[in-house]
Amino acid sequence: MYVDKSKIEEIKNRVDIVDLVSEYLTLKKAGRNFTGLCPFHQEKTPSFSVNRDKQIFYCFGCGEGGNVITFLMKIADKTFPEAIEYLAEKTGVVLPPMSSGKEGRQKDSLKDGIINLNLKAAQQFSRNLASPAGTAARKYLQNRGIAEEIIKQFRLGYVPDTWRSLTDYIENNGFSMKLAEQAGLVIAGKEGSFYDRFRGRLIFPIENVFGEIVAFGGRILEKGEPKYLNSPESPVYIKGKNLYGLNKAKEEIRKRGFALIVEGYFDLISLWNAGICNVVATLGTALTREHIELLRRYTVDVVALFDPDEAGIKALDRSLELFLSTQMRARALILPGGDDPDDYVRKFGKEKMEELISRSQPLSDYYIENVLGRGKTFEDKRDMIKTAMEFIDKISDKKEKDLFIKRIAEKTGINEELLIKETYKNAPQGEQKGGKTKQPVNINNDVVELHLIQLMLEYPQKIIQVENENILDYFLQPELQNLAKKIIDAYKLLGFIDIGVILSANENASLRERIFQSMMKALPADDTMLEKIFTDNVRQIKRKCYKEQHRQIKLKLSKAQENGNEDLLNKLLYEKENILMKEKELN
């Protein structure tokens, strides 16, 4: 793919990395940088830094780093052209038509096609809801007290039970039936005919984090099975990877500092209707790691709703494991009287619901009290230890593990020492204390050469000067010389520098870390300052190089003297003189 480099620069100039990153995770100002919890690895203390002056990000935990484009590629799983297109649209930069690989292009247009068709279908469903055919559906929503505004906001719709309601619409408007089938909107019948997947249902469009409709959910209005029906998976929709409502709730989640996780659309919509908006729904599937990854970009505090029945307890067991292993702080919300959130909030109102939420117990405490139980007899306790041990084994984080053991000991009266001994009896030596030790970062990187690389990355206008003046010839560290060469080559080829791409191709993680770190710290320079910094830097590099040459010659000189090789001696003395002259020129 080739995109005009000036367009890329234009896009980069119009997007602010702090704003863009803030759409995906919560950032706090910390000195000149902004920091937050890294979306690319699991952590409890923020090591993800964003620098507004330089428009770069870097994670000191996992080494992921780059600019707006690289960030978007990573976080939204986009290819380079997709990221450029997305940002162009967002910033209003008009791109000339691009030609990329044929296959990639086709895949993109398939995704785009499905998303467009979904939007059309959603609009048709919502027209149905407003039409006479939608009377019963409207009544249903009215009875549940759902406000008109919420219906609009969530683009609720209706599809009559006629088998061909949407099919006819798609056919009559010349949209592709094949595409509709791939989108999961229609089902192929006999002899090339199609019929509606959703029939006689209230429709909930399912959006991704970008607000694009990727699938639909439908609730049956009359009798019939299943009560809830979702779109099948498609090129734009993978089950267990979407959280219903996240696109709308993310602002509120950030504001309130936690997210409420419920199961179904209606739970979520009822809560919104009641004014509780920091909610997401898992859409019937059990909570997945992907759900949590998605959510933890916005918060690490969640309140998860569970039924007190056996299925609910099982779900709680599984989720607790996930929350612990992903280092989320989870609380369990159990509604009294077997109510679901929809019932509860309609019966008792927002305040009562909020009160329950605020009183919700840490999930691990709930688990210990209600799943492990309070054994009285020796046998009870033995069973408890066994169940607890099985569970503790699944917790990967050492700190979490120990905390959990402590809690179990407190709540059940089982001796803490005993639990610890049991837990670690099979662990290999050394793993017991401290967990992983960090690799030593201390490699012999040359500070001044490193600085030049940093300048090249930050001020690409200097790259050609570096090449023209053959400054790389003065580099003493082959690794850094290589990296600098790569930067020059990339710049000559593309006309711009993508620091993320260049540095991610570099396997030396500690080198990458040092470069990002110094870039994060360095103050932005104006032209005059830059000129001075650059000249100083080049001078230092050269001086260091001459010094090294000096040292080498000195060694050779003493050898030549030992051997009485006078020709060589003269030659070396001449070289030495030369270097001295060059060194003088530097000052």
Where along the sequence are the contacts to Zn ion (CB under 5 A)?
A: 38, 40-41, 59, 61-62
Nearest approach in angstroms of CB 157 to Zn ion is: 40
In the complex with Zn ion, the residue whose CB is nearer, 62 or 579, is: 62
Place of tokens 């020796």: 378
In the complex with Zn ion, the residue whose CB is nearer, 124 or 326, is: 326
- Peptide bond preceding 440: is omega within 30 degrees of 0, i.e. cis? no
356 contact partners, CB below 8 Å, separation of at least 6: 333, 335
CA atoms of 503 and 499, how far apart (whole Å) = 6
For helices 341-359 and 265-273, what crossing angle results, to 10°? 70
Cβ contact 365:407 at 8 Å: yes
Nearest approach in angstroms of CB 57 to Zn ion is: 10
Nearest approach in angstroms of CB 450 to Zn ion is: 22
Cβ contact 166:173 at 8 Å: no
Place of tokens 């709930």: 366
**For residue 240, which of 340, 325, 306, 318 has the smallest C-alpha distance?**
318
**For residue 231, which of 208, 209, 250 has the smallest C-alpha distance?**
208
Nearest approach in angstroms of CB 506 to Zn ion is: 17
**For residue 40, which of 66, 15, 4, 2 has the smallest C-alpha distance?**
66
**DSSP label at 258?**
-
Using DSSP bridges, classify how beta strands 33-36 and 48-51 pair: parallel, antiparallel or unpaired. Answer: antiparallel
Nearest approach in angstroms of CB 42 to Zn ion is: 8
Nearest approach in angstroms of CB 521 to Zn ion is: 18
Nearest approach in angstroms of CB 39 to Zn ion is: 8
User: Percent helix, strand and coil across the chain, each rounded to 5?
Assistant: 55, 10, 30
Residue 476 CB coordination number (10 Å): 15
Nearest approach in angstroms of CB 33 to Zn ion is: 15
In the complex with Zn ion, the residue whose CB is nearer, 40 or 534, is: 40
In the complex with Zn ion, the residue whose CB is nearer, 38 or 276, is: 38
In the complex with Zn ion, the residue whose CB is nearer, 61 or 375, is: 61
In the complex with Zn ion, the residue whose CB is nearer, 59 or 335, is: 59
**For residue 246, which of 274, 277, 220 has the smallest C-alpha distance?**
277
- Residue 188 φ/ψ, nearest 5 degrees: -75, 130
CA atoms of 64 and 545, how far apart (whole Å) = 33
| Helices assigned H by DSSP within 64-164 | 68-75, 80-91, 102-130, 135-143, 148-153
In the complex with Zn ion, the residue whose CB is nearer, 184 or 500, is: 500
Q: How far is CA 161 from CA 196, 224, 229, 414, in A?
A: 9, 11, 14, 59
In the complex with Zn ion, the residue whose CB is nearer, 40 or 258, is: 40
**DSSP label at 425?**
T
Q: How far is CA 102 from CA 106, 112, 148, in A?
A: 6, 15, 45
In the complex with Zn ion, the residue whose CB is nearer, 40 or 306, is: 40
In the complex with Zn ion, the residue whose CB is nearer, 61 or 312, is: 61
Nearest approach in angstroms of CB 37 to Zn ion is: 9
In the complex with Zn ion, the residue whose CB is nearer, 68 or 392, is: 68
- Dihedral over alpha carbons 109, 110, 111, 116 (to 10 degrees): 80
CA atoms of 34 and 48, how far apart (whole Å) = 8
Q: How far is CA 48 from CA 17, 35, 65, 78, 505, in A?
A: 13, 5, 9, 20, 20
In the complex with Zn ion, the residue whose CB is nearer, 331 or 514, is: 514
Nearest approach in angstroms of CB 62 to Zn ion is: 3
580 CB-side CA count, 13 A: 8
CA 339 to chain CA centroid, Å, is 34
In the complex with Zn ion, the residue whose CB is nearer, 74 or 201, is: 74
In the complex with Zn ion, the residue whose CB is nearer, 38 or 538, is: 38
340 CB-side CA count, 13 A: 12
Nearest approach in angstroms of CB 516 to Zn ion is: 12
Nearest approach in angstroms of CB 575 to Zn ion is: 50
Backbone Cα Rg of the chain: 31
3-state secondary structure of 544: helix
Nearest approach in angstroms of CB 580 to Zn ion is: 49
Nearest approach in angstroms of CB 196 to Zn ion is: 45
